[in-house]
Chain A
């Protein structure tokens, strides 16, 4: 390896990079846009608030107490539904996913209620609230659960009995963590993967197609010089890309992520993994056109199945098992362990597996990379 050649080649690649606007966009701007868009979609205000339409047929003191209980702690935002309509039909027409109906009997003396099966307190009159819900809605179950919890709390308050068992929250995370904190490490991993893989694959295919490799093979440039300059180039792009993602995530969403040497180590290993995979796949991509098809065939499954956008635990078991053979999964795990959980044991375990992937991919990729005219063209 000759440092002079490596730096000259690196300078050529960087110069070519910043003169190619579409590459600059997809490498640097695209991940930032993803962070902004997904961040805005998924980062809600601190506490979730649900709309709850209520048809209050009782209008009693008890129902007023109930409604104020429902809004307590910002659990629900109550909207009133007219009492002269059929609740089910109203919910259908207005596409309401959940509608709470307070019956007329609520708050009436126990004698007025038909049942009267005993029970000492007035609130234990057995008044039945009805909720009308749309089972096809994905979010309705959460609302119903929350409603049950709130009603339970109100019941217990009305009964005047202090709770026998209470729950105190203890988070496993050092700090509060939101979707954006989960998302940013995933986007960093995705951005590094995309640029490393597609650069290794497309650039080699393009250079080969254009005969530049043929020229370089007749100069003092060796394969090692070329590979080292490729890795350094990716490291610079990786640092730029990671830096921009973090700056935007801090500025726009005030993310709280740990930034330490682990981040650098993980990103560097990831670059080696995907440059290696890119070199391994180069024979499948003789032309620049087929190179982008091969790139996408690798990128998309990795991106969606390795926990970039959502936790792997949300996927069915067999897909989770599949994710565990993908290198990006371990990069994601390592980055999140380092940046969110500050869990050194977990970081080391994931880094170890990533490093194994890196070694295998890079050695195999190097061994089968042809330089110049080694094979019949």
Chain B
């Protein structure tokens, strides 16, 4: 029975993106649930062979967007092409060439890992060697174990293996590491890197910034149903968080030492007197945004000269997390939304 489709198409929109180089092209995608516009006029493209990370806070519209792309949810309007095929019209063709790890993957409790993969291989009529697939995802040792008894990390790896049974060209992974411990997360990352090295296009949905930073070629940030930034992790951080951040922790002042108390009081003042903004990070620590390593050296020299004793010094490069927080913060979203609506993209 065909799935219900509501596919009015977008009037006045011309296909501007080439689909020959792109694995995925999304044009003016909208998805509405009653009065809620979950995905609001989203457009982007994913190049073949790249690892594309789709970032966004909970409820931003990530999963809805992905589900439209991977054919399991109809769009309200807009067009989505996967490998040059329209997902609304060629669902059965698209499905054969993509692999999906849905959010919170689970499988039949009482089937073993081998049986689970055999089932998925059968429904895709794939002749893939299950042993090779299990080796690739490091599941060989668990081949005869029932799914229900596996740990969270192993279950996710079964999900990744199940997404690969048809040797797909595009692999969708929706929050593959959510709920995993750091060790299991690293294992999943290694598996993803392996996939990428085999030339797969990977569409990764996550809300872990370090994951995107570690793995992605391209990052798109979505908030409140709209794409607010697209670019490489480095490009995004350079553009949106261009300052280093220096955090200084002072030694606790000795009760009897008058001079120490004075130097404590003066540390933020010294920094401010040099023309930097400083903010108290805690009782005995300050945080200073700086532009260069030279600034750091100057501040440290000045404080040292003033007799301030430092317990800890931390210089941090801006990272995706700061970009994300800045862009998805309530105030930021409004301005960036306007910017992106006006056609400003990275």
Closest A residue to B146 by beta carbon equals: A19
Contact A211 B103 (CB under 8 A): yes
**Do residues A215 and B162 form an inter-chain contact, with CB atoms below 8 A?**
yes
Binary CB contact string for chain B from 1 to 27 against chain A (1 if under 8 A, 0 otherwise): 101100000000000000000000000
Q: Which A residue's beta carbon lies closest to that of B38?
A: A376
**Beyond A12-B119, A372-B72, A373-B73, is A215–B105 a contact (Cβ under 8 Å)?**
yes
- A210 close to B (CB within 8 Å): yes
Whether B111 is near chain A, meaning CB under 8 Å from some CB there, is yes
**Interface check B244, CB cutoff 8 A:** no
- Give the size range of A's interface with the partner: 20 to 34
Q: Which 3 A-B pairs have the closest CB atoms?
A: A218-B100, A210-B106, A19-B110
Q: Are B122 and A8 in contact (CB under 8 A)?
A: yes
CB interface residues, A 3-33, toward B, < 8 Å: 4-5, 8-9, 11-12, 15-16, 19-20
A16–B106 contact, CB under 8 A?
Answer: no
The residues of A that contact B3 with a CB separation of less than 8 Å are: 223, 371, 374
Report 19 cross-chain contacts, Cβ distance below 8 Å, ordered by A residue. Answer: A4-B125, A5-B122, A12-B111, A12-B115, A16-B108, A16-B110, A210-B107, A214-B72, A215-B102, A215-B162, A218-B70, A218-B95, A218-B100, A218-B102, A220-B95, A221-B123, A223-B3, A373-B67, A374-B4
Cα(A374)–Cα(B4), bound, Å: 9
| B44 interface residue (CB < 8 Å to A) | no
| A-contact 0/1 string along B77-100, CB 8 Å cutoff | 000000000000000100110101
A57 at the interface (CB under 8 A from B): no
Contact of A215 among B1, B96, B100, B124 (CB under 8 A): B100
Given contacts A220-B92, A220-B95, A223-B1, 14 further A-B contacts (CB under 8 A): A4-B122, A4-B125, A8-B122, A8-B123, A11-B119, A16-B109, A16-B111, A211-B104, A215-B106, A218-B98, A218-B172, A219-B100, A219-B124, A372-B72
User: Does B71 sit at the interface, judged by CB under 8 A?
Assistant: yes
The listed residue (A20, A210, A222) touching B1 by CB distance below 8 A is A222
Which residues of chain A are within 8 angstroms of B122 by Cβ–Cβ distance? 4-5, 8
Complex Cα spacing A366 to B33, Å: 22
Residue B208 at the chain A interface, CB threshold 8 Å: no
- A218 adjacent to B71 (CB under 8 Å): yes
**How far is A371 from B108 in the complex, measured between Cα atoms in Å?**
17
In the complex, what's the smallest C-beta–C-beta distance from A53 to chain B, in angstroms? 60
B276 on interface, CB distance cutoff 8 Å: no
Say yes or no for B120: interface residue by CB 8 A criterion: yes
- From the candidates B70, B98, B107, B115, name the one contacting A212 in the complex (CB within 8 A): B107
Q: A220 touching B72 by the CB < 8 A rule?
A: no
The smallest beta-carbon distance between B315 and chain A, in angstroms, is 43
B262 to chain A, nearest CB (A): 61
Which residues of B are in contact with A by a Cβ distance under 8 Å? Answer: 1, 3-4, 33, 67, 70-74, 92, 95-96, 98, 100, 102-111, 115, 119-120, 122-125, 146, 159, 162, 172
Instruction: Give the Cβ gap from A214 to chain B, nearest Cβ, in Å.
Output: 4
Which A residues are closer than 8 A to B by beta carbons?
4-5, 8-9, 11-12, 15-16, 19-20, 210-212, 214-215, 217-224, 366, 371-374, 376
Are A9's CB and B123's CB within 8 A? yes
Residues of chain B with a CB closer than 8 A to A215's CB = 100, 102, 105-107, 159, 162
A374 and B95: CB pair below 8 A? no
Residues of A within 8 A of B125 (CB): 4
A227 to B, closest residue via Cβ: B1
Contact of A5 among B33, B108, B123 (CB under 8 A): B123
Q: Which residues of B contact A11 (CB under 8 A)?
A: 119
* Chain B contacts for A19, CB-based, 8 A: 110, 146
CB–CB A214/B123 < 8 A = no
- Taken together as a complex, chains A and B put the C-alpha atoms of A12 and B159 apart, in Å, by 17
Chain B positions within 8 Å of A16 at CB level: 108-111
Q: How far is the CA of A224 from the CA of B1 in the complex (A)?
A: 6
B309 to chain A, nearest CB (A): 55
In angstroms, Cα B95 to Cα A16, docked, is 26
Which residues on B sit within 8 Å (CB–CB) of A218?
70-72, 95, 98, 100, 102, 172
B123 touches A219 (CB 8 A): yes
Q: Is the CB of B105 within 8 A of A211?
A: yes
B103 touches A372 (CB 8 A): no
How far, in whole Å, are A192 and B344 apart by their CA atoms in the complex? 63
B72 touches A217 (CB 8 A): yes
CA distance A19 to B67 in the complex (A): 33
Chain A residues within 8 Å of B162, by CB: 215
Looking at the assembled complex, report how far the CB atom of B31 sits from the nearest CB atom of chain A, in whole angstroms. 10
Determine which residue in A211, A214, A376 has the highest number of CB atoms from chain B within 10 A of its CB, and name it: A214
Q: How long is the Cα–Cα vector from A262 to B281 in the complex, in angstroms?
A: 82
Residues of chain A contacted by B111 (CB below 8 angstroms): 12, 15-16
Shortest distance between the CB of A25 and any CB in chain B (Å): 15
